[in-house]
Amino acid sequence: MSEPTQFGSGWISGVLSTVLGAIGLGAVLCFLNPSLFTMPELRGLYPLPYVRALLHLILVGAFVLGVISVVLRQSKILGLTGMAFTLIAALLGGSQVPIQGELRSGPFLGLDWFLLNLMAYSAVFIPLERLFALHPQQPIFRATWRTDLIYFGVSSLLVQLTTLLTLRPAMVLFDWASQPAIRHWVAGLPFVAQFVAILFLSDLVQYWVHRLFHRVPALWRFHAIHHSAEAMDWLAGSRLHLVDVAVTRGLTYVPIYVLGFAEAPVFAYVAFVSIQATFIHANIRFEFRPLRWFLATPQFHHWHHSAEPQAVDKNFAVHLPILDWIFGTAYMPRCWARRLRPPVCASVSHRLVDTPVVTSRAKHHKHAS
Ligand SMILES: [Zn+2]
Ligand SMILES: [Zn+2]
């Protein structure tokens, strides 16, 4: 992109117009066909008058920003795209679009789930990454952001399928292992005890599944997708092959199902894991001391993605670094945020962005096998 992107160039208004216009259009589609585009679990939770008011603001905002961008910017493409999305949304009914079709259960795409996730995560992580970046020179729309957004979008749209693939295998294959007396006792434990137990057991399983994905060449083919991310930020963690997601989540759910944890701590865990899996990829420079010894941080997981030979096949845990300490795969030198402490870290560089990670790891695996 050769045109300027600073404030006043029409770039920020153009990008915002396109993003808001797309969100508005997506929301209108959810109203037009809620059976196809919304999650049954969420349908009853929407405060519709407020959703419509917000949709109205989004569409008006997208249009006004599009006009501003078109006026300010030589290239009109961003502003016109945002305005076009808004106009299509308006023609389809805008914020007053009636809810159409009867609500039925059955196959659906989580378009509302995608829009909500996109708005929530970008509202939290984009400002954080702008204010406290590990790599401040890395823009929001860095190389291959589209690829990661597609992974993010597809996994959100296919939420019904991934939930099914997570829950069903454990229920079908491990029903024999489930003892009513144990399930009753576990479900009666205090919320915090159940939450911590789920965190530990699921990460223990996740640790070994993840390690196998690195060890076994046939599995590495799928997991290599995740390691092909060339830049680290909140969106990069979405880059996961469906097989990777299904196998890891399916096996992680086995102890949760067999031991019969109650619904509330399981839901809390699901929310926690999706936030933390995003957080550990974020372009945030904090080392989170002393928290980093108890909970996986961006520093911990960025090393997992690093191509440095000493960091290859390290830091497999998603939640608890103690698992890597126990099984001998922990790697946490003090050189991660070398920008902050150049003398300490002069000998080691963090070459994630400019190193072909997959090639390096593939080579490593060839040597190892
Ligand atoms: Zn990995
Ligand atoms: Zn990762």
CA 180–ligand 2 middle distance (angstroms) = 37
Q: Domain ranges for the chain, please list them.
A: 1-105, 160-368
Q: How far is the CA of 339 from the centre of ligand 1 (A)?
A: 25
pLDDT at 348: 42
- Mean pLDDT lowest for which of 134-148, 206-220, 257-271? 134-148
Is the confidence at residue 362, as pLDDT, over 80?
A: no
CA of 283 to the centre of ligand 2 (A): 12
* pLDDT at 342 exceeding the cut of 50: no
pLDDT single digits (tens) 203-231: 999 999 999 999 999 999 999 999 998 88
The whole-angstrom separation of Cα 290 and Cα 48 is 43
238 pLDDT exceeds 50? yes
Find the ligand nearest to 248 CA: 1
CA of 256 from ligand 2 middle (Å) equals 23
Single out the residue of 33, 147, 140, 24 nearest to residue 84, CA to CA.
24
Selection from 76, 110, 122, 94 nearest residue 24 by Cα = 94
Write down the residue that tokens 């489930």 correspond to.
178
What pLDDT sits at residue 351?
43
Cα separation, 27 vs 236, in Å, equals 25
SS3 for 97-164 is CCCCCCCCCCCCCCHHHHHHHHHHHHHHHHHHHHHCCCCCCCCCCCCCHHHHHHHHHHHHHCHHHHHH
In the structure, what pLDDT confidence band is assigned to residue 143 with cuts at 50, 70 and 90?
A: confident
CA of 301 to the centre of ligand 2 (A): 6
Using alpha carbons, select from 347, 237, 225 the residue that is nearest to residue 284. 237
- Give the distance (Å) from ligand 1 centre to CA of residue 213: 7
Q: Evaluate whether 350 touches 298 at the Cβ level (below 8 Å).
A: no
Query: What is the Å distance from ligand 1's center to 297 Cα?
Result: 15
Shortest-distance ligand to the CA of residue 358: 1
